Every structure is written in C-alpha cells, then in structure tokens.
Structure 1
Amino acid sequence: MITAYRSNCKSIEITDLSGATSVPDDIVWIDMVEPGREEEAFIEGLLGVDLPTREDLKDIEPSSRLYVENGAAFMTASLVCKAETQVPALTDVGFVLVKNRLVTVRYAQPKSFGLFIAALHRIPDEMRSGASLLAKLLETIVDRTAEIIEQSVSRIDILSTHVFGERAKKMRRSSDFLEEKLRDIAGYHRIISKVRDSLMSLSRVLTFVQTLPALHEDRQAKELCRNVQRDVQSLSEHASFIAGNVTFLLDASLGLINIEQNAIIKIFSIASVVFLPPTLVASIYGMNFEHMPELHLILGYPASLLFMVVSAVVPFLFFRWKGWL
C-alpha cells in the first residue's frame, strides 16, 4: 500500500499505478507499507531512485544501511514492534530523503508510525518538508521507545514485588510459581534487548542524518535531531541499567529456586539422620544370633522400642537447639 501526504497534511492513497508520471510538488511524504514489486517500480520511476527491497533492509552492514546515492540519502533503522505481545520483534524500516521528500519503506506496523500520522496536523507549516518530517518522525519513534521502556520498568517492578513480597513466600511453595516468573523475566529481557538494539540503530541513523546537506539547510530540523540524539543516548543508558536489573532479578529468582530445593534436601537429610539410630537398633535386634541375652528378657521388646524412640528424639532436639530446623 502506498500513501502520499501533502504539505497540508492531507493524505492520498495511491492505487492507480499508471495514472501519474511525476510527483506533485506539494507531496512531502510517501509511506510504503509492504509494497509489491509493481508498487516499488512505480515509485522508483517517479522519483528516479532505486528503493531498498525487503532483502536490502535486512542487510546489517553499515555501508548498506546508511549511504548517499544519486543525490538521495538512504537510511535503515530497526524499530521495535509488537511490544505489547509476548513476542516483541524488530522490523527494519527504510528512510529515503530524495528531492526534499521523505519516503519510508516498511513491512510491519510499528505503533510510532500511527502516532506520527495522528499528530501530523500539529506540525508547524514551516517544518513540513522532507528533512523536517524525518526529524519529527525520528522524534516520535524515540518517544515511543521511551514509552516501551517506561511500561517495561513498571511491569518489572510489579514482577519484583511478586517474587520477593511477603505474599510470595506462600506462593513459592507451588512448583509452578517461580517457573512462571522466570518465563516473565525472560520476556522482559527479550523486550529490553530489542529496545537496546533499536536505540543503537537509531543512534547511527541520527548521526548520519546530521551530516546531510538537506538538514544543514533546516536549522529547526538540525536542532531537533541533536535533541533526539541526546534522548537516544540517555535512553540507551537507562535501558542498560534496566537490563542489569532484569539480570539481577533472574539471578535472584534462580537463587530462590535453589533455596527451595536446598530446604527440601535438608529435610530429607535430617530425616535420614533422625531415623538412622532407630534403624541401627532395629537392625541389631533383628539379627538371628542364638546367644542374645536381651531376647530372653521380659521387658526386652518395650525397652528396645523405647531405646529407638529416644535415639530418634535426641538428634531431633539437638537439631532444633542448633537452629538447623
């Protein structure tokens, strides 16, 4: 699907691929969502540039993601999508500045694009050029990334309370409780990792954007890019801090599992030690020797039973006195 946006923020969905021979002057942004080969060829013919394909966007080489060719600047950034789901992912989005127009090529629906389109009418008239729209779009993407981090921090705090809170002590007795929390921690680790990768990609794009002549001619867009880059740097540091907290939470949860397992093993160990002396007594008097004086005593059987009970109670009381139980 191809949607073109005019400088007055009105949008046009391009469905007729044969009706136009040139791009109107008031078109400042062309947004291509999952374009087919015919749509790509149509826009390439209008603009006179080769747009990146799905395979081109996946290339991880810096020289393939940030370059200038035939007067057009090509940039590729990895953005977080499906952040609210259990399987957050990164999607590669292409940004092309050509003839003072912005062209975006994407094969997913990051929420930041919807937010940017909804707020497009609030952008001042003097900032409705290709370079300015790129700067504003990158600002919206970074703001959305900050929102994802904020939501993750809030959920991680709640998870930490569930794991270490007073009510969690009883719930930890359930074998599935900590396993479920470990899966939640793994999910938060995944989203924070995606955010850090996205921020690194955005930082490279912003550094490259600030070297473009089109941005030097627009002071407002240039200053905005500088501010956005500072935001990216601070968010990257914050994301690293959160990643450390997630790692601590993971290690602590594994430690709690070990403590629970050690407590169970300790109970079995103490039980075996407590019942060892009675077993020894029973083993002795279970021998089939002919000459055992106690076997002929009238009180021999109750005495052996009493001896077995005493030999079990004494170690138990000793363990309680030492604080091992």
Structure 2
Amino acid sequence: MNFNPQNILIINFGQLGDVILSLPALSAIREKFPNAKTTALIGKSSAEIIELTDFVDGKIAVDRVELRDSGKIWSIRQILKLAADIRRRKFDFIIDLHSLSETNLLGFLSGARHRLYINRENRSLDFLGNFQPKPPPEDKTKHATDRYLDALKPLGIENSKRFVQIYPRSSDLEKIENLQRTKNFAKKQFVGLFPGAGHPSRRWSLENFAELAKRFEQNKNLQTIVFLGPEEKNLRGEIEEKFSTETFIIDNLTIPQLAAAMSRLQVLISNDTGAMHVGALVGTPIVLLLDQRAPTTYLPLTEKLCVIRNGTLDEISVEEVFQATQEFLVN
C-alpha cells in the first residue's frame, strides 16, 4: 500500500502485562515504517519497559493513577496540557492500540491527518478514526497479542511474530550482579518467587510459597530469591516471618533492574501479574500459578512456560509446583 507516514504516535495505555503483550505490534510497526519517527503515549508505570526496546524513538509518559485520584479540576488541566503537547508535535498518523473512548478523543484532537482505531464495542469512539479500511472489530476470544496485531491489518501487516525477547541493559545487569556478589551467591543457581498480584484472589498463599522455598533450600546449589514490587511492600514483614533467613528478598527495583534480575534466574514461580510477563520477556522459564477460572488470553507466548491451573489457587499443591520447577531445573 502507498502510505508513508513520517511522524507516528502509538497510543498504548495499559497495565505492564498489557504493554508487554503489545510489543510484537510495536515491533511490526517499526518494521513496516522503518524511517518514520515513532512515539509511544504510555502509562507511567509501563514506560520503563519501552526503554529496553528499539521499537520507538520516544515516549510521552502519563501518570493515569494520579489523573484518576487527583481533583477533577487539576486532572482536566493536565489532560488539556497533554492534548496541547500532542498537537504541538504535529503527528501525521495515530495508532490507538487500546482504543478507549478517551484516547480516541485525544487522538482526534491531535490534528493528525490519519487515525487508526478499532471497534471495542461500548468502550471506543472508533467513528473518530478515519483510516480505511478499518481493522476488524475486537474479538475477545483471541489472545491479547493477536488482538493488537489485528489492529494493524489495514496497514498490510500480516503474519508477524507473536513473541519478542529483549535483553537487559549492561548497567542494570551490573547492579544486580553487585547486589548478588555481596551475598556470596557466586556459584549458585537462582530460583525466583513472585508472591504478589494486583488482587488477593490471584495470590497463591504465602505459606505455600514459604514451604516451596524450604524445598529448594535442601539443594545447596540453589538460592531462592523473593521479588517484591511496590504493591507488595506491605508483605515484607510477613514474608520475613514465614520464610527462612536463607531466603533473599529483593525490592525497590526499577522495571529495567527487575528485568535484569529475572534474566539471571533458572526459573521464576509466579502468580498472574505483570512481573511474570517481565520474566518471560527476558527469556526466563516461568511456572505460572493460575486459577482455573482465569482467562488464558493474557498468558505470555514464550515456549518456556508451564501453567498450573487445577481448580482454584488453593487447590494447587506445593508438591505439584515443586515438580514442575524441577523439570526446568533439570533441563
């Protein structure tokens, strides 16, 4: 097709896991338009993961939580400033991967000549998009990555790779290696645990994680590392109480540092959360603990994935998880 935009804005609001699952779409856009300048409009909490790729040239990070929780007048002022900033940058093509009503409106106000939106039932204002042909309506039965790639079909983008792997920065790897060196872990293999999740219903119990850690500690060649994100800080005291003193707890990492730390693991055992997607993104084998009722359309598409979802999370046994982990360790 004879379409050659020079200044593209990709609207990519979403949680960390959503943004990671959209990376194949960003890669495909870069491959389709290698000479265009591309900018991602993205949530602040997910912006750091974009920095580890070469899929975009720049980013505009928005603290959506602050906008939601602050006073209405202040939030409206910030949105107007954002709209003015986007209009000033003179984008000629808008691709809205999430196609929410508010982001569709923002793209419309940008002044961009071409706007590619998808129809998300009652969540979008896709009539404000003008790119022809239109992408197919959102199919919620498809995997999230495939839905993002479907949005690009009008551009002639087909059969793109569904999974991309990234590599941590040397500066982040050096920081993690220095941290591990202080603990004399030089000759050990690392097993990671991520016991947190955005909602308590998605968490395997801390007692189970602690029992699992004890099983690993029987092997003196293994070192168990528990990762805590910002939402898990309140769990640290309980973890220190339930886990042995041999367990190494790491928190206060940036997303790039978390990616570097997880790239050094032999395996990561995790609840369904954004951190799990970070581990998959850097090539770490994943044992994912998932409730049987949870959708599978948001799973990482890595080949190094073992999903345990027998009934509810409470029904998943420590032995079952231990054996699944052993298969990765042996291989």
TM-score higher than 0.5 here?
no
- Quick check: which one's helix share is greater? 1
In which range does the TM-score fall when normalised by the shorter chain? under 0.3
Could you tell me the TM-score, scaled by structure 1's length?
0.23
